[in-house]
Amino acid sequence: MIRFARALVALLFAAPAVRAQDPALSSKLDKPTLLAVSAIIDSARAAKLPTKPLNDKALEGAATGADGPKIVAAVRQLSIRMGSARRSLNSNATPDEIKAAVDALQAGVSTRDLALVQSASGKRPVTMPLAVLTDLIGRQVPIPTATSLVLQLERAGVKDSELSLFQRNVRADIERGADPIAAATTRAKGLVQRGAPGTNKPAQ
């Protein structure tokens, strides 16, 4: 009876971990990869991290023809980065903000700068600012300059739609041959001066 009770209790605690797999994952990953990815996703769920990005990462790996170990490593790495990103943002960070923060971290932004962007944004979501920051870095704007510009724009209360336009303008300038730093700095300056009078002091 005691053995039966123990088995029942073990089953009771194991029940929450037994969940249906995403059918897309099940159909696109081989069994060992699926098991490993599922374990990482379960751990992320237990840590209250968003799990869809992990699911998407595994599907991306399958779509690109990556082998199982590579997919597992990428999913695990993403899970670790999401943990770092969430610690840098506030506890109410949305999955989209965490995804954007992961990209920024991978581009080389420090967790401290992530927290600064979060702080400068106040209650506004940081998804767009972080996406623009990542893009600037990808277009050869040095990380300290890109971070400083995004902080200025956030402190000036620039809207997401204006940030999106800023990103497109900087890209166009660079594609036309402009120096990335000059393009980003000039466009940011114009936005700050136009967007929020009195808040256009350069960030330190």
The whole-angstrom separation of Cα 100 and Cα 158 is 18
Q: Least CB distance from residue 201 to another protein, whole Å? A: 27
Using alpha carbons only, give the angle 18, 23, 27 rounded to the nearest 5 degrees.
115
Minimum CB distance to another protein smaller for 102 or for 149:
102
Best CA proximity match to 120, nearest among 185, 203, 193? 203
Q: Report the alpha-carbon distance of residue 64 to residue 163 in Å, rounded.
A: 31
**Closer CB to another protein, residue 102 or residue 120?**
102
List residues binding another protein (CB under 8 A): 1, 5, 8-9, 11-12, 15-16, 19, 24, 52-53, 56-57, 59-64, 66, 70, 74, 77-78, 95-97, 99-100, 102-104, 106-107, 127-128, 131-132, 134-135, 137-139, 160-161, 164, 167-168, 171
Interior CA angle at 53 toward 127 and 48, to 5°? 90
Shortest distance, position 204 Cβ to another protein, whole Å: 25
Rounded to a whole number of angstroms, the minimum distance from the CB of residue 171 to another protein is 8
